[in-house]
Structure 1
Amino acid sequence: MIQAFQKLIFVSNLVFGDASDFILPWKHLFGITDYQIDIAMRENAKSLYALELKSIGRGLDIGTLIEVRRVQLAYKLFDEVAADMFKEHAKKLIQENISSALSILKSNTSAGNIPTEVINEVNSILAFNRLLTVLSKFPQGERFARGLGPISLAGDFDHDKMVGDLKILYAAYTTEVLSDGLLDDEKLGPLNELRNIFGLGKREAEAIIEGVMSDVKSQVPA
């Protein structure tokens, strides 16, 4: 009943705008406070915006980002809230890649052999992150959905629980990248980018890279 009433307030405010105070005097007739009206507007706007975000995948384009921004403004959702929701949605997309890669990696029985599917999942993460970064710097970015920019899982409430698996995946990707035993700036770039996405510490990542390099060199015939 409460949710239905909140929806009524939300729709009325969208349809009538400021005139809804006179046409539908919620505060006088029902004893509704400004705070309760704000809650109704925010929560319903968030629910509808969340539905809009579900249609967004990794292949972002300018038209979609402009439409999402238009929807946000139509629902009168604050920029800060919209940005946080977009970032969370982007993280969920990346976490899907991570879960898929880990599932494949842990089910692989070939010692020392990193499945191509795992590398493809990580490359998808990197490509999506770079797209978000480029779009966040676009000249007409003020017309786009809020929340664009590079992703980092650091600081998430469940990051500590994930960090072990993230290190495993980072090590697997590092093993593939450094399979020839050579480390240069071209290879270090994506490794650093992945470290930032996974929210790993610099020393943690360096230790993994050193370990991989040591393993690769030990396998080279003397």
Structure 2
Amino acid sequence: MVMQVMQHISSRAEIKEKFSGASCITLACWLISSLIAIIVPASKWARERNEYYKYMGQYNEYESKQQQYKQMKSGNGNWTGSNAAMKFVYAWNIIMFIGLTIHRYRILANGKDQMGIIIALLIYAQFSLMNLITTTQGAIETDDHFFENSIYGWFGQYSVLVAYTDFWMFLCSMIFPKVLGAIQYRNRSQKEESVADVSDSLAVYKQDGPSFDEVLTQCKETD
């Protein structure tokens, strides 16, 4: 009876090991989703830009490029600055997302409280959504098909790349908190069930089992 009860009760180290840290599947899914949020919009933007160049028949025509580049600069004096600004926005957005990804990976791997990470993801999702709306409503040129008639094309704008990236980062930052919340809820339920089982076992042991001194004596005799 005593040995059965002692075998049924999980040690504190076993309980801690069972519920500390995230599983390898969760960590792998997080890294893969972060990479997808960075790679997919960039590859989509580059592919559509190259397809547009080929469609217009201007992909390898150097003279035509130089001529239309001069026309673009004369027609839109802010083009160079706007393009540089969009490059900075895109680069800084990627740096922030990578830093947040590393920080979240460390928290998940160490098994720390995930509520802070969920809040940070939701805040970043709101930031990506606002940046997406701002980019599509103001930064992307659409008037009179100005960029569409140039060698850079509509898909050649860095504003389009920023919009694609913000959209994918918004999806990643909205979906993954829900997954983390579901995992945290499941782990909490399992932990409460394990603690309840330990409490029930201790209650049965205290009621029907021998005293603590007798248990120690039996353990010494067994050894």
Taking structure 2 as the reference length, the TM-score comes to: 0.31
Higher share of residues assigned helix: 2
Select the structure of larger CA radius of gyration. Answer: 2
Q: Which has the higher contact order (CA 8 A, sep 6+)?
A: 2
Taking structure 1 as the reference length, the TM-score comes to: 0.31
